[in-house]
A and B are shown apart, each in its own frame.
Chain A
């Protein structure tokens, strides 16, 4: 066989290139074709990686920074406008609704039905309490008050979890030092202030006596465990502020708090459980109601008031100590 074309001419034909491609040989020389591309992005070495990470960090910060991110600014402004409009519309709806409610102060409202009638008429003979509201919350609707004492208890537990500084230096507990910005109050004791101490010497016994009076008179006049306990708590806080933590620790330590609140809550729980159990099973609870108007009257209400008063006083003092110092 003979070829009509020479080698040179054949190497320029398409058939030659096709068969070459079929065999898998490369079809170009680097200097001749346009298909050769140089790497536009050089492979990064260590320094540029760090730079790129910093760029990413700057970009992230810029995304959240309001001044440079216009979209974020627009969103924030729209959010505030829509939120304020929503609140105004909500307020208008509420006022529109209130105008349809029964009249305040009228005698013929739906709420003046047989329920408060029995509380008023038979309250004193069924509960023995002269103060009808105390009789209602500690005898008729005692389960609600029991739940409410537990709300106070669980709030104290959460405040203790958050703010109590642990004695054990494990790796998990935060330790406050002097340079800690929020630690100012916890490190320093109250100063010996003359005015405060003189006034406290005079006032604290009066406050305590008043608090005890309010607790004991819960079923005879306005008062009760909650208000009396708050008054006693206020007296304790005044004492701590005037005389310092060391003097208060002579009679009120963490153990005191623990055992008072445990004892009071347990007594409350057991009294209430006994009362509910007897009531539901139609048993007679054998608790004397006494004469209305005397302090030792109205069955269990006096004991419950005292328990609640002690718990509330300890709780108020504990809140103050936890916020101020972090431990007793």
Chain B
């Protein structure tokens, strides 16, 4: 076990959330819960990424009073990457939810296994 476990506690929490979301996405039978699991997983990755930019004692990267020295601001790159990632996560959630609505309208169930069994029985 490496030495940075206690200092990187934010990242540890992010990894626990990641595995929680991952397990939900794989194992839950209800489609809405799968989507919630996917959202937890993605949010944990953004937490993991966002905390990489932090430097103790420095502030938000918005230039105030024309101070442009490196020692005054945190790293702006992870914040920009997280902005992109959040939009991707929203788009994919919207797509998955509309798929769920269509499936519910047709089969009146949110259980993916039951839908597959019904399709196999119909023998399409």
Contacts and interface: CB of A to CB of B under 8 A. Distances in A.
Q: Touch between A and B in complex, CB under 8 Å? A: yes
Interface of A: 60-61, 64, 80, 83-84, 87-88, 90-91, 94-96, 98-107, 109, 111-112, 115-117, 119-124, 130-133, 136-137, 141, 144-145, 147-148, 151-152, 154-156, 158-159, 162-163, 174, 176, 180-183, 221-222, 224, 226, 292, 319, 322-323
B54 A133 contact: no
22 contacts: A60-B121, A87-B22, A91-B18, A96-B1, A96-B2, A98-B11, A101-B4, A104-B54, A111-B75, A116-B76, A120-B69, A123-B68, A133-B61, A133-B76, A133-B83, A137-B84, A144-B80, A151-B87, A155-B92, A158-B95, A221-B62, A323-B101
Given A80-B27, A98-B15, A103-B8, A163 B76 contact: no
A96 B117 CA distance: 40
A265 to B, nearest CB: 14
A111 B52 contact: yes
B26 interface: yes
Interface in B1-58: 1-5, 7-8, 10-12, 15-16, 18-19, 22-23, 26-27, 51-56
B80 A133 contact: yes
Contacts of A61: 121
B9 to A, nearest CB: 8
Interface of B: 1-5, 7-8, 10-12, 15-16, 18-19, 22-23, 26-27, 51-56, 60-63, 68-70, 72-73, 75-81, 83-84, 86-88, 90-92, 94-95, 97-99, 101-102, 104-105, 108, 117, 120-121
Contact of A84 (B27, B63, B84, B104): B27
B11 A104 contact: yes
* Chain B contact residues, majority secondary structure: helix
A147 B84 CA distance: 9
Nearest to A113: B75
Given A91-B19, A323-B98, A99 B8 contact: yes
B77 A111 contact: yes
B80 A141 contact: yes
Contacts of A159: 94-95, 98
Given A87-B27, A133-B80, A322-B98, 5 more contacts: A80-B27, A96-B1, A101-B8, A104-B54, A182-B108
A323 to B, nearest CB: 7
Contacts of B68: 120-124
B69 A163 contact: no
Nearest to A176: B105
Given A94-B15, A105-B7, A130 B63 contact: yes
Query: Considering the complex of A and B, which 4 residue pairs feature the smallest CB-CB distances, nearest first?
Result: A155-B91, A182-B105, A91-B19, A100-B2
